[in-house]
Amino acid sequence: MESRRNPRAVVDPKVRQVGFFTSSSQPDSTPQPDPIAPASHPVSSISPSGNSLSPVMIPPPRHNSSDTFPLRAAAASAVSPSSFSYSSRRDFPDGSTTASPGRVSRGSFAKSSVPAASSLPGVGMDSMAAATSSSVPASRLTTVSIVNMPPGLTEKASGKQVQSDQMKNSKPLKEKTTKAERRALQEAQRAAKAAAKAEGGKAPLVTSGSVASTSKAAKPAKPSSQKNEGAVAAGPSEKDRKKDAPHPRMQYDDESRVVKAKRRAVVKQTEAKNRVELFRHLPQYEHGTQLPDLETKFFQLDPMHPAVYKVGLQYISGDISGGNARCIAMLQAFQEVVRDYSTPPEKTLNRDMTAKISSYVSFLIECRPLSVSMGNAIRFVKNRIAKLPITLAEYEAKAALQSDIERFINEKIIMADNVIVKHAVSKIRDGDVLLTYGAATAVEMVLLHAHELRKKFRVLVVDSRPKLEGQLLLRRLIKRGINCTYTHINAISYIMHEVTKVFLGASSVLSNGTVYSRVGTACVAMVASAFRVPVLVCCEAYKFHERVQLDSICSNELGDPNAISKVHGREDINYLDGLTNNANLQFLNLMYDATPSDYISMIITDYGMVPPTSVPVIVREYQKEHLLV
Amino acid sequence: MPDVQSTVLEFVNKLRKRKIEGSQATARYTVELLRSVISQQRVPHANQASALIDAVKAVGEQLVAANPVELAVGNVVRRVLHIIREENLSLTTAAMAGLDLMDASDDDELDNSKGIGYPAMSAAVVAAARSTLRPPSLQTLLEGTPESATVPYTSSSGADSESKSKSADKSSITRKLKHDVIEEVNQLIQEIAGCHEQIAEQAIEHIHQNEVILTLGSSRTVLEFLCAAKEKKRSFRVFVAEGAPRYQGHLLAKELVARGLPTTVITDSAVFAMISRVNMVIIGAHAVMANGGVIGPVGVNMAALAAQKHAVPFVVLAGSHKLCPLYPHNPEVLLNELRSPSELLDFGEFSDCLDFGVGSGSPLLQVVNPTFDYVPPNPC
| Closest by Cα among A301, A404, A440, A419 to A360 | A301
Query: Would you call A594 helix, strand, or coil by DSSP?
Result: strand
Q: How far apart are CA A162 and CA A226, in angstroms?
A: 7
Would you call A554 an interface residue with chain B, using a CB distance cutoff of 8 Å? no
How far is A238 from A182, CA to CA, in rounded Å?
Answer: 15
Superfamily of the domain at A427-556+591-625: Translation initiation factor eif-2b; domain 2 (3.40.50.10470)
Q: How far is A234 from chain B (nearest CA, A)?
A: 35
Measured between CA atoms, the residue of chain A closest to residue B245 is A488
B345 touches chain A (CB under 8 A): yes
Report the chain A residue with the minimal C-alpha distance to residue B252.
Answer: A575
Residue type, A33: P
Whether chain B has a CB inside 8 Å of the CB on A526: the answer is yes
Hey, of A461, A484, A488, A570, which one would you mutate to test binding to chain B, going by the most B CBs within 10 A of its CB? Answer: A488
Whole-prediction pTM: 0.67
Report the alpha-carbon distance of residue B44 to residue B54 in Å, rounded. Answer: 12
- Report which residue type is found at B207: I
Are residues A166 and A236 in contact, defined by beta-carbon separation less than 8 angstroms? no
For β-strands B287-288 and B294-297, DSSP reports them as: antiparallel
Q: Which one is the CATH code of B1-99+172-198: 1.20.120.420, 3.90.1150.10, 3.40.50.2300, 3.20.20.70?
A: 1.20.120.420
Q: How far is B267 from chain A (nearest CA, A)?
A: 7
Establish if B335 touches chain A: CB-CB under 8 angstroms. Answer: no
Strand pairing report for A432-437 and A457-463: parallel
**Which chain B residues are closer than 8 Å to A594 by Cβ?**
273
Q: Which residue stretches of chain B have pLDDT < 50?
A: 100, 102-121, 147-168, 380
Instruction: Encode B8-40 in three state secondary structure.
Output: HHHHHHHHHCCCCCCHHHHHHHHHHHHHHHHHH
Helices (H), A196-322: 202-212, 221-228, 238-242, 255-264, 291-296, 306-317
| Burial class of residue A44 in the structure, from the number of CB atoms within 10 Å of its CB (0-12 exposed, 13-18 middle, 19+ buried) | buried
**Given an 8 Å threshold on Cβ–Cβ distance, is B274 in contact with A463?**
no
Q: What is the pLDDT of residue A122?
A: 40
Report yes or no: B142 at the A interface, CB cutoff 8 Å.
no
User: Into which CATH architecture does domain B207-346+365-375 fall?
Assistant: 3-Layer(aba) Sandwich (3.40)
| Nearest of A244, A240, A172, A173 to residue A208 by alpha carbon | A244
- Separation CA A426–CA B189 (nearest Å): 62
A464 touches chain B (CB under 8 A): yes
Strand-pairing partners, residue B372, are B297
With b for 16 or more beta-carbon neighbours within 10 A and e for fewer, the A214-251 pattern comes to bbbbbbbbbbbbbbbbbbbbbbebbbbbbbbbbbbbbb
Q: Residue A487: its chain B contacts at CB < 8 A?
A: 344, 367-369
Of residues A253, A494, A455, A608, the one with CA closest to residue B370: A494
B368 and chain A: CB distance < 8 Å anywhere?
yes
C-alpha A153/C-alpha A528 separation (Å) is 62
Q: Does the domain made of A255-413 have the CATH classification 1.20.120.420?
A: yes
Q: Residues 264-303, chain A: which have Cβ within 8 Å of B?
A: 276, 278
- Among the listed residues B349, B65, B287, the one whose alpha carbon sits nearest the alpha carbon of residue A475: B349
pLDDT < 50 regions, chain A: 1-9, 11, 21, 23-59, 61-175, 198-246, 628-629
Beta strands A457-463 and B280-284 are: unpaired
Query: For the residues of B163-191, what is the DSSP string, one character each?
Result: HHHHHHHHHHHHHHHHHHHHHHHHHHHHH
Chain B CA closest to residue A458: B364
Q: Would the CB atoms of A590 and B271 count as touching at under 8 Å?
A: no
Q: Is A497 on the interface with B (CB under 8 A)?
A: yes
Find out whether A424 and A503 touch, Cβ atoms under 8 Å. yes
Neighbours of B262 (CB within 10 A): 18
Topology match between the domains A255-413 and A427-556+591-625:
no
- A374 contact B CB<8A: no
B273 touches chain A (CB under 8 A): yes
Q: Is B235 on the interface with A (CB under 8 A)?
A: no
What whole-number distance in Å separates Cα of residue B357 and Cα of residue B276?
Answer: 48
**CB distance from B334 to chain A under 8 Å?**
no
Q: Are A606 and A416 in contact (CB under 8 A)?
A: yes
- Determine whether the interchain pair B261/A584 forms a contact, defined as Cβ–Cβ distance below 8 Å: yes
**pLDDT at position A566:** 76
Chain B environment of A458 (Cβ under 8 Å): none
DSSP conformation class of A411: I
Domains B1-99+172-198 and B207-346+365-375 share a fold: no
Q: Identify the pLDDT of residue B153.
A: 42
Q: Which residues pair with A590 in a beta bridge?
A: A558
The total number of residues written for chain A in this structure: 629
Interface contact flag, B305 A527, Cβ < 8 Å: yes
Question: Scanning every residue of chain B, which has its alpha carbon at the shortest distance from the alpha carbon of A567?
Answer: B247
State the Cα–Cα distance between residues B28 and B30, nearest whole angstrom.
5
Distance CA A382, CA A206 (A): 13
Domain ranges across chain B = 1-99+172-198, 207-346+365-375
Over residues B54-101, the pLDDT tens digits come to 888 888 888 888 888 888 888 888 888 888 888 888 888 877 776 645
Nearest to B272 among A483, A484, A522 (CB): A522
Of B251, B271, B369, the CB nearest to A523: B271
The region that residue B144 occupies, defined by phi over 0 for left and psi between -120 and 50 for alpha, beta otherwise, is left
> Cα torsion for A63, A66, A71, A76, to the nearest 10°?
170
Which ipTM was obtained for this model? Answer: 0.78
Q: What sign for the dihedral angle of Cα B111, B114, B119, B121?
A: negative
B303 contacts on A by Cβ (under 8 Å): none
Among the partner residues A464, A486, A579, nearest to B257 by beta-carbon distance? A579
The SS3 assignment for B266 reads strand
DSSP state of B338: B
Q: What's the CA dihedral at A192, A194, A200, A205 to 10 degrees?
A: 100
Helices (H), chain B: 2-16, 23-40, 48-66, 71-97, 119-132, 138-143, 146-158, 162-193, 195-201, 203-206, 220-231, 248-258, 271-275, 300-309, 331-334, 347-354
Q: Is residue A509 within a helix (H) or strand (E), and if so which, with residue range?
A: strand A508-509
pLDDT reported for residue A430:
92
A590 vs B contacts (CB less than 8 Å): 266-267, 270, 273-274
Tell if the CB–CB gap between A590 and B368 is shorter than 8 Å: no
CB contact under 8 A, A523 and B272: yes
Q: Each residue of A355-410: pLDDT tens digit?
A: 888 888 888 888 888 888 888 889 888 888 888 887 878 888 888 888 988 988 89
Indicate the burial class of A430 (C-beta count within 10 angstroms; 0-12, 13-18, 19 or more). Answer: exposed
Please answer whether residues B217 and B375 qualify as being in contact, where contact means their C-beta atoms are separated by less than 8 angstroms: no
Q: For residue A192, how far is the Cα from the chain centroid?
A: 34
Q: Any idea what the Cα angle at residue B129 is, between residues B126 and B135, rounded to 5°?
A: 135
Domain residue limits, chain A = 255-413, 427-556+591-625
For residue A98, CA distances in Å to A95, A415, A556, B150 come to: 5, 16, 39, 105
Contact B270 A590 (CB under 8 A): yes
